[in-house]
Structure formats: structure tokens, C-alpha cells
Amino acid sequence: MTASTDLAIGYSDGDVDTNNTANPTLNALIEQRYSRRDTLRSGASAAAVAVFGGGILAACDSANAGADPSPNLISVGSSGSATSGQVVTLTSNATDNGPITSAWVQTGGPAVTLIGASSPNASFIAPSVASTTTLSFQYSATDSAGQTTQGTTTAAISPAALRFTSLSKNKNDVVTVPAGYTVTVMTRLGDPIAPGVAAYKNDGTDTNFAQRIGDHGDALYWYGLSAAGARDDNNSVRGLMVQNHENLNVQYLHPAGPTNTLPRPEAEAIKEIEAHGVSVTEYVEGANRAWTYVQNSTFNRRITPNTPVVFNGPVKGTHWLFTAFSNDGTAGRGTINNCANGHTLWGTNITCEENWAGYFARPSADNATRSPRELVALRRYGVTSTNGNYGWASVVPADASNTVFKRWDARATGASATADYRNEPNQFGWCVEFDPYDKAAAPRKRTALGRLGHEGAWLGKLTPGKKVSVYLGDDSRGEYFYKFVSNANWDAADAQSANRLSIGDKYLDAGTLYVAKFAANGTGSWVPLTFGTVPNRPAQGSDIEYVFESQADILVNTRLAGDAVGATRMDRPEWTATNPATGEIYLTLTNNNAGTRPLNGTDAANPRHYNDPTGPSNSAQFGNPNGHILRLRENGDDPASLTFAWDIYLFGADSADSNSDVNISGLTAANDFSSPDGLWFSRPTNAGGLVKPLLWIQTDDGAFTDRTNNQMLVAIPGTVGDGAAVTITNRGTGGATATQTTRRGALATDATLKRFLIGPVECEITGVDSTPDGRTLFVGIQHPGENGTPASPSSAWPANQATGSAPAGTRPRSAIVAITKNDGGVVGL
Ligand code: FEO
Ligand code: CA
Ligand code: CA
Ligand code: CA
């Protein structure tokens, strides 16, 4: 064969030279092919390509027609237009008198990764765009003689939209997702995560939960893992799933439910304790998008209430933490009631201790042995249970030296704090950072972030040279919202440090803790909780005036400090989420009741008091039974700002029986919800988390379950201040009314808020993350069938997910589901 001129066709109009993709330019491809055939002569690089309009055939083989025709390109096209995150297919139809090879390259527009670039039909995921943007592509068909015919096509990409049909509410005992999506059940309560551990029988006889998935899966997060087994933040097919295990459906953990007499049997207590904590489990995506977990992965780990931990920050080594286990207050055992979490840009996880107080036994007779100061603190945190939630302190262990049960006895029974566990409650209520990639490293309790009923710990948007901020909700009725600000400025080089926990030391051990005050005019302030500036907490009821003795005191008794500075009492601060595009902070305020916040107890940030006249028991539900989502923007977008602007993004409501004083956001049957809890923005590594990122809202509701099981919605929110000030009329019992002004965000529409998932019977939806590419979404289904009995479970999920049924008596299990879009696109778009 000679170097025929038929290859040097047409011209380059410059398009290929402005291609900003990583793909080889057309010139490069042509040069490669010349090079292969060793026919490239000086001057022959004028070889280029005719560029034709999309879908127009190109036949360019005049010279050799007849003997060996070039491929005949019948059509080149694409699926035309799409929105960000959708799969776009590029098609071609070429014929020749022999085999042809195909090559697609991108010639214009934002770079995309072509799948099947050497096939007649290629595809790509539409990139994130802020306005309609045209991408162009060129197709080449090459015959066995090396003769090429080319054509081009384009695809117009529009900004992201929620393209699925919003689900109708239901009370089915399965996970429901929109048409076009697939649910895969992943790790479930009891699944073995170590070699040799038996499959879970799920009949109450299983043991060894320190090597199984724990109960009540809560917050979760995906940590990518490379093929070589190293941290790889961008890996979407292999990773470590980190999940909290908050609490128990204790009735299903034992053959006939728990033994409800004291002392509790040791074997039962061991299971119950070990079923709490955190799990780290390797997940992989196999062929045909099949997701599985790896039972024998060396990365798999359980952190339980018995796992050794250390203390960091200002409280470390202070008398507040002295116990019989840790005489110097530097170490402790485990973590409990791990609710939500946080993740850092340096690759660690922050698991948070929420409702820890109730696990401790401290009968009222202990009051006589405590100082008035101690009693103020113990009452404020609710360390007042007679036996503790599960009676673990009552266990009489076979080994009398074993203190893993005794530690839950918070009475002062010894000669000093180092002789008993009176201070063990001070060892809980913290944010606990650990390294998912290093199972040998002890978790570190970050005391600088204060001691609360910590829901979670969410970092604000990180900016090099600025402080690191962490937003912290204290989830109890009337509790506060906090922010921690590091002393150190963010150094982007720290993100990939090999010593991840030392980076945590740098940013999370030294800084200032603030608490939020919300003003009626849509502004707010952060009040520092710094020793020397926090006034005494005044005497109230049987509490004496509380005089703080040190910064450690403020951090151990953070709620008292919040009281002292007059922080705004909130309607139960649950999750926080940071909008990755704007840096705005969203906060779920899940609900409140009339007992904690009466008709005259509203304020602009917690503005509603009403009755949801229907409910699961058809009884009155006064207060704010449906909750709301508040958002704020730091002034100057500075994480260290002491002031902010806020509004209320969404108000939960039952659209069927609410007036405009209640259904303030204009919800419809297609998107109404109650009790927002889990909250998460799509990752900015895919189209879901860019330009106008998707916000996922999960519910933990008891007020709306007459209408639907708990659910997850997805929204495309605007920004703080996109709505208006409104004055509503609140209505209490007996026809009493009061007006309240608040600041609502833009009204919801059926296009900007949709119902994406509904869970099985009696579950809560909590925990959500995706792979970095956004093509697999992981969602936590917590405590299905929580009101059932061992003899008569009220849910069979997840055993019934695939077929809709399961054998009678099947016990429910908390579990994670992986959700994929059948066409391979970004979930939700
Ligand atoms: Fe464990 Fe506040 O939810
Ligand atoms: Ca209702
Ligand atoms: Ca929660
Ligand atoms: Ca729950």
C-alpha cells in the first residue's frame, strides 16, 4: 500500500486545536496512524479531517473507490439533548466491504470520559453545566486498508434537573425507588465481616457482634480504595463503607427477646454492647454493576463500646475524665449511640455520640453522695436513669475482674473518682475521629468540640488559608446549634497526608467553640464559649448557680455554657450539610412538642406552633410536629465569621390537612414530608454536586406515618434570602392564637423537591452517601419493624426486598441499600 492521498482529506478549521479534553486530538490520532504506517513525510502533517455536521454522512474515498472503498458512513448521531448527569449515547452506522474499526473523540465542550470510544456506539455522562452547552464529537471508521471516513455530531447539555417521577406515598414493607432504578441490599445487621464468622441465622442465637455488622445502622460514608489497597478518594468501584450503629431493636437480638429481670444475663449484655459502635466494611462493584461486600477484607473493622480510645484536646488528662480504668483521664473504652458522623478532607471519619446518657445507671440515691455542682451537670445531661437503658451495670460477670459492665454504673461508690465509674458519663458525648484506613490506630475523642448529645460533625467548605469550621447539632428538644473554628488555617497539602489522625490533631484539638443565636431580622451571631467570657449559669429550680472553673469545664458541660450565654433554643438540631457550591450550611430541626415549646415559646428561627390534626393515632399533635430545615450563610463566606444570615429553607407539613400558616413552603402531595433528620449534599465530584447541588433529605418521623413510611426526598435548593419575610398565625389548644414573623426561603415546587425513596414498615431513613461518580447511592434503612415482637415481627425487610415476601416470622434487619440507575447515569438526575 502506498501513502495515498485519500488520507489527507479536507482541512482543520481549528476545532481540534481548541479541544480541552484529555482525549488525543484528531491531529494526534492521525499522526499516530501515519506513524504506524511509517509513511509520514515532512509536510504531510497537513493531513487533517473534514468536519461535517452531525448525522451527515461523509464519503471521502474518491481515489480508491471501486477497488477498496473507504467505509461508507451512513449516519452519525447522538441522543441529542440531555441534562447534566444523564447518559448520552453517540451512535454511528458505517458499512464497508470488510471489517472496520471505530474511534470516537471529543472535539469541543467540557471534557467528558467516553465509554466505548472504540465502538460504533459510545456514551458519556453529561457533565455539569450552568447553562445549555454544546459538546461535539467526531467519529472515525477505518477499514483494513487504513482508509478512514469521519463524521461529527453534537449533544446539547442543559443544567441538572430531577428527571424521575416523584413517588407516591406508601406504607409498603419494602424500599421503593422510582422507575428506572435498582435496589441492592448490602450489609445487614449481623452480617459477618471477618474470616470464619458464620452467616447470620437471624433467630436470636447469633453471637460475636464484634465481628458482625451492628444494629441500627445510621450515618454512613464511602472511603475510596485503590486496586492496590490504598486510600483513593476518587475510586467508585472499591471502597470502605463506614457506618454508625446507633442503638438496638433488642427484641430481635435474642431468641425470645431480652431477659427483662436484673441482673441482666452476661451473654445477652455482651451481644447488646457489641452491636453498638461503628463498622468499616469493604464494598466492591463487580461485573454488570453487581454490588457486594467483602467478608474477608483485611480492612474490615468494628469499633464497639469496648474498643480502646484516647482523649485529645483541652479536656484530656483533667479530673473530669478520671475513672478506675483511666486514673489519669487520658484513655477510655469505646463509643456509643453513634448517630450521625462527619468526614474530613484528610480522609478520616468523625463518629458522634448522641443519646449516651441513658445507658448509665445512676439511681436517685446517688444524689446524696454528689456535690450540688455535680448534680447541676448530671441533671442537665440527663444522667438520671435508675438502671440504664439495658441494665448492663447490673451484670455479674463470670470473671469478677471484668469491668465492661460495671463501667455503666455511674454512682459514686468508691473513695474517689479513680476508684469507680462516676466520671464514665464524662467519657461520652464527644466527637470521635478515627482513620478508616488504619484499623490499628485508636479513635481519638476530640474534646475541643464540646460534650453534647452530638448528632454529627460537619465541616464547612474548606478554603486554603482560612480556618476549618465544624458545625455541630445537639439533638434534644430545645438544645443548641454550635460551630467549632480551628486555630490553624487550612493547608491543602494536609488533605493527602499519610498521618491522617495527626492532621486531625492540628485542626480539631485547638480552636474556639461557638453557639448560635438567631435574631428575628434574619441575621445571627456565634457566641464564643471561652473561659473568662462565659458568665456563670444562674441558679434555677434546684440547680445552684454554676461557676465554670476552666475551659475543660466549659467543654465537659457545654450545655451549661450555652445556657449561660443565652443561646437560641432550637427544635432539635439533627444533621447539618454544607452546600459544596455556595458553602451555605443547612440544618434539620426535626420537630418539637408543645411541652418543650408552648404557643408563646416560638421565635423567628423556630416559628411554628400548630396541630397536625391527623397522625398515626389520630390524636392531637401540637407544637412543630413536622419540623423544618434552616440554612445560614457566614458573612463574607468566612468560616470564622461571628455573624451570619439565615432563613428557613423548607417547612415540613402534611399537605392534605395544612393551611398556609403551617404549609409555609407550599408542599404538595408529591413532596410533603415530616421530621427531616438526615441531610446530605451530593458530592462535588459529579454532576449532582456541582452548580446547583442536590440536597437529599431523610425523615425520622412519627407524626406523618399515617400517610407514608419514612422517606428520602431530593431537592435543588436556592440560596439564603431567596424567599420572603412572612407572618403566620400559630394556633394552640383551646383556640388560642399568636402571630410570629419568620423568614421563609423560596417556595418548593414539584420540580425542585421530589420524593425519591420510601422505606419499609417502621423504619427510619438515615445515612446517605454516593460513590464519587454519583452513579451508586448508598442509603441506610434503620430499625424496620421496630415495634414488632420476636414472635410477631412487624416487618420482614430486607428478606422480602427482592420478591416482596419472606417466610413467616422472618425478623427485620437494619441494612444499607445500594441504588443504581439502570442506564448508568447519576442517581437522581
Ligand atoms: Fe440519632 Fe438525632 O438522631
Ligand atoms: Ca397529618
Ligand atoms: Ca438522626
Ligand atoms: Ca431512629
Give alpha helix (H) positions in 565-659. none
Min mean pLDDT across 26-40, 333-347, 768-782 is at: 26-40
Which tens digit of pLDDT belongs to each residue from 505-557? 999 999 999 999 999 999 999 999 999 999 999 999 999 999 999 999 999 99
What's the 783 CA to ligand 4 centre distance in angstroms?
A: 7
Over the stretch 89-102, which tens digit does the pLDDT of each residue have?
Answer: 999 999 999 999 99
Q: Which residue has the higher pLDDT, 33 or 152?
A: 152
Nearest CA to ligand 1 atom 1: 339
Q: Which three cell numbers stand for residue 47?
A: 493531513
Distance, in Å, from the CA atom of 221 to the CA atom of 347, rounded to the nearest integer, reads: 11
The CATH class of the 72-158 domain is mainly beta
Q: What phi, psi does 16 have (nearest 5°)?
A: -70, -25
Name residues whose C-beta falls within 8 Å of residue 549's C-beta, 6 or more positions apart in sequence. Answer: none
pLDDT, tens digit, for every residue of 105-117? Answer: 999 999 999 999 9
Atom of ligand 1 nearest to the CA of 355: 1
Q: Is the CB of 274 under 6 A from ligand 1?
A: no
Cα separation, 556 vs 427, whole angstroms:
9
Grid cell, residue 648, equals 428557613
% of the chain residues with pLDDT over 70 = 92
Identity of the amino acid at 195: P
The Cα-based distances of 520 to 260, 594, 599, 600, 662 in angstroms read 49, 21, 17, 15, 19
Q: How far is CA 487 from CA 128, 265, 458, 783, in A?
A: 35, 48, 17, 40
Pocket flag, ligand 1, residue 479 (CB < 6 Å): no
In angstroms, the CA 58 to CA 521 distance is 65
Residue 630 has pLDDT above 50, yes or no: yes
Whether 475 is in the pocket of ligand 1, judged by its Cβ within 6 Å, is yes
- Give the residue extent of every domain in the chain: 72-158, 181-356+428-821
Q: What share of the chain is helix, strand, coil (3-state, %, to 5)?
A: 15, 30, 55
| Predicted confidence band of residue 614 (pLDDT cuts 50, 70, 90) | confident
Write down the pLDDT at residue 122.
98
Dihedral sign computed on CA atoms, order 102, 107, 109, 112: positive
CA of 678 to the centre of ligand 4 (A): 11
Instruction: Report, as an integer, the average pLDDT of 48-68.
Output: 43
pLDDT score recorded for residue 66:
58
Judge whether 702 and 675 are in contact, CB under 8 Å.
Answer: yes
Radius of gyration of the chain (CA): 30
Ligand 4 mean position to 764 CA, how many Å?
6
DSSP H or E run through 72: strand 72-78
Structure confidence at residue 45 (pLDDT): 27
Q: Are 108 and 19 in contact (CB under 8 A)?
A: yes
**Residue 259 — φ and ψ, nearest 5°?**
-75, 115
Phi, psi at residue 821, to the nearest 5°? Answer: -90, 130
Rounded CA gap, 637 and 717, in Å? 18
- Of 570, 557, 566, residue with least CA distance to 376: 557
Q: Give, in degrees to the nearest 5, the angle at Cα 501 between 299 and 481.
A: 105
CA 657 / ligand 2 centre spacing (Å): 6
Identify whether the C-beta of residue 236 lies closer than 8 Å to the C-beta of residue 285: yes
Mean pLDDT of the chain: 92
Whether the upstream peptide bond of residue 314 has omega within 30° of 0, thus cis, is: no
pLDDT band at 616 (very low <50, low <70, confident <90, very high): confident
Judged on CB neighbours under 10 Å (0-12, 13-18, 19+), 734 is: exposed
pLDDT (0 to 100) of residue 80: 86
Please answer whether residues 328 and 320 qualify as being in contact, where contact means their C-beta atoms are separated by less than 8 angstroms: no
Residues 56, 101 contacting (CB under 8 angstroms):
no
Q: Is residue 574 within 6 Å of ligand 1 at its C-beta?
A: yes
